[in-house]
Structure 1
Amino acid sequence: MNNENIKNKQVLIFILATGVFGILNTEMGFIGILPYIAENYQVTVVQAGWLISLFALGVAVAGPTMPLLLSRFNRKYLMVFILGLFTLCNVIAVFAENFFVLLAVRVLPAFFHPVYCSMAFTVAAALAKPGEEPKSVAKINAGVAAGMVAGVPISNFLAEQFSLSASMAFFAMATFLVLLLTIWLVPSMPVKTGMSYGSQLSVLRKPMLWASIMAVIFLNGSIFGVFNYLTEYLGTVSGVVPALVSILLFVYGLCNIGGSMMAGNLLTERPLLVVKSFPLAVAVVYIALLGGGSVWPLMGVIVVIWGILGGINANINQYWIANAAPEAPDFANGLFLTAANMGCVLGTMVSGQFISAWGTQYVVLGGLLFCLLAALTFWVQCSHKQVNTLLRIQAEH
Structure 2
Amino acid sequence: MTLSKPSQRPSNPRFSSGPCAKRPGWNPDAIGDAFLGRSHRSKEGKARLKLAISKTRELLGLPGDYHIGIMPGSDTGAFEAALWSLLGARGVDVLAWESFGKGWVTDVVKHLRVEDVRVIEADYGALPDLGAVDFSRDVVFTWNGTTSGVRVPDGRWIADNREGLTLIDATSAIFAQPIDWAKADVVTYSWQKVLGGEGAHGMLILSPRAVARLESHTPPWPLPKLFRLVKKGKVDAAIFEGETINTPSMLCVEDYLDALAWAETVDGLQGLMARANANAGVLFDWIARTPWVANLAIDPATRSNTSVCLKIVDPEVLALPAAEHAAFVKALALRLEAEGVAFDIGSYRDAPPGLRIWTGATVETGDLVALTPWLDWAFSAGKEKLR
TM-score with structure 1 setting the length: 0.29
More strand by share: 2
More helix by share: 1
TM-score with structure 2 setting the length: 0.30
The structure with the largest alpha-carbon Rg is 2
